Chain A
Amino acid sequence: MTDPEILKDIVLSHYKQPKNKQNLAKSDNVFRAKNPNCGDLYAFAIESDAGMLNITHDTQGCAAAVASSSILTEMLNGLSSEGALKFVRSFRDTFLNGRPLPEDTSVELEALHFFKQSPARVLCVDIAWETVENALVRPS
């Protein structure tokens, strides 16, 4: 279990300087979602090059939404579509069902688990993963 202050810092740094974030106005294949509670907007563009995924996002929202989107891209980029789907499903399974974190969980994913303390914020994190899972299951 990592020090909560370190986890907070990780979330905050992904929030203030999100990875793989770009304006997706001109991209095709953009998968969008909206948080019904607060109106935050999530957007992901998924490309694949030689069997390896390259996901970018343009999520506008709270720290949980932006950090989740940023960490998601870092975790999935470079994986195959099947590998990514497996990863997303396993994350959501532990995150949503309150299972203990596996030993080898990266500190970034652990940081997202920080939001599990508040049921209302679980959705902020999960919408990113749900959106990408749906996209990977049914590519448009």
Chain B
Amino acid sequence: MEDIHQRISEIRSDFPFFSQEGKFKDWVYLDTAATSQKPNRVINAELEFYQQFNANIHRGLYEISEAATAAYEKAREQISEFLGSQDSDEIIFTRGATESINLIAQSWGGLNLQEGDEILVTNLEHHANIVPWQMVSAKTDAQLNVIPIDDQGNLDMQYAMDAIRGGKVKCMALVHVSNALGVTVEVAPLIQAAKEQGIFVLIDGSQAVTHFPVNVTKLGCDAYVFSGHKIFGPTGIGILWAKRKVLEEIPPYQGGGDMIRSVDFEGTTYAEIPAKFEAGTPHIAGAVALGEAIEYVNEVGFDAIATIDQWLFGRAAEIVESIDGLKRIGNTLDQVGVVSFYSDQIHPSDLATFLSTDKIAVRTGHHCAEPLMKRLGIPGTVRVSLGIYNNAEDLDRLEKSLRSAVTFLS
């Protein structure tokens, strides 16, 4: 690659947030794991849809509605290709990763789980991959089985393999990359072992799809989910990919318009997939803009993304490790996008408030992963999360502010 800083600077100029003249001019944004900033072309795609193509989809026999439908369906194709799916009907538009997981937990879990069955998750999960399973467990008397981690967030692979082969696990739902620690879970061997046992596998790729290419066909899982807003797309739109066979077997999640073939007060026949899972008017402009975001990622390319990610992570980790009293969590090379740390002396909220007065946005607390924080024995961490638009100056400012925060607060 040409000079990495030059490339970052080009990427950064695609994001109007960083050249704004508004209230948050000159802020350092280090909370991309919570939500990413949006490039111009995504913002413009949404704008252009509303300005020029706005009509409801699948309903009108006039040309505008047909064009809106075509734009919506094109986004489905783009996402299908992005995930390496063989069949774009396997892509369901949802509100986000949370809704995608709820859909699978309710529809697949409600149909297939019984008393005594286990749902295997990790101790790294986001609440979005815990609570939906607890809700279906309460109805079905299935139980959660949690794969433990060590102090640095590495999964106990032996425990996982034993559980998979233990005969009780019916469903495995794993985070691909932890939002709280940035640890990448080595999902491939676990999926392979689980499929040998006929276990249903869902992967939560919310933090993975922005960092490395994912191919659901090669992975061999049954379902894969992510949110549009974390990959430069709009909020309110997300993806569930699941195998055709699964989507055809399980009942619909919500009822309403667009998801039916015919309705009669005596009974209703459901539409084919994907319409079966898209009741009501979807976030059409959001889907179109998400398609554009995916094109943007393809254009930047995962090679460049990996190079930038590696540099950003290395620099941020080095900053944290060089400051006395700060403890970074994670020791693997398999971390990406997130540097999470804490101090025995200084409360994470105080560090964040201090950084905020220097116009630096980081996240603190349990990051929607309370069971993980309990396991690590800390109330929360400070999380620096990185996007391909963060530059060397951002991290220099972080370093300076963190150093003075630690001096001031301890």
| Chain A residues with a Cβ under 8 A of chain B | 12, 37-40, 61-64, 118, 120-121, 124
Contact = CB atoms under 8 A, between A and B. Distances in A.
Nearest to B410: A16
B347 A61 contact: yes
A38 B351 CA distance: 13
Interface of B: 347-350, 353, 356, 364-366, 379-380, 408-409
Contact of B366 (A39, A64, A121): A39
A15 to B, nearest CB: 8
A89 B409 CA distance: 31
A137 B120 CA distance: 47
A118 B348 contact: no
A38 B409 CA distance: 19
Contacts of B353: 63-64, 118, 121
A39 B347 CA distance: 11
B379 A39 contact: yes
Given A63-B409, A118-B356, A39 B349 contact: no
Contacts of B349: 38, 62-64, 120-121, 124
Contacts of A38: 348-349, 364-366, 379-380
Nearest to A37: B365
A40 B364 CA distance: 13
Q: 3 closest Cβ contacts across the A-B interface?
A: A62-B347, A62-B349, A39-B379
Given A38-B366, A63-B347, A63-B349, 6 more contacts: A37-B365, A38-B348, A38-B349, A39-B380, A62-B350, A64-B350
Given A61-B347, A64-B349, A121-B353, A40 B409 contact: no
A39 B365 CA distance: 9
A133 B366 CA distance: 29
A118 B357 CA distance: 10
Nearest to B357: A117
16 contacts: A12-B409, A38-B365, A38-B380, A39-B366, A39-B379, A40-B347, A40-B379, A61-B347, A62-B347, A62-B350, A63-B347, A63-B349, A64-B350, A64-B353, A118-B353, A124-B349
B142 to A, nearest CB: 28
A122 B347 CA distance: 16
Contacts of B364: 38
A33 to B, nearest CB: 15
A75 to B, nearest CB: 22
Pick the most buried of A39, A121, A124: most chain B CB atoms within 10 A of its CB: A39
Nearest to B356: A118
A5 to B, nearest CB: 11
Contacts of A62: 347-350
Nearest to A40: B379
A11 to B, nearest CB: 10
Contacts of A12: 408-409
A38 B366 CA distance: 7
Nearest to A8: B408
A61 B366 CA distance: 14
Nearest to A63: B350
Nearest to B379: A39
Contacts of B347: 40, 61-63
A4 to B, nearest CB: 10
Contacts of A39: 366, 379-380
Contacts of A63: 347, 349-350, 353, 409
A120 B365 CA distance: 12
B362 to A, nearest CB: 13
A125 to B, nearest CB: 11
Contacts of B408: 12
A92 B171 CA distance: 50
Contacts of B350: 62-64
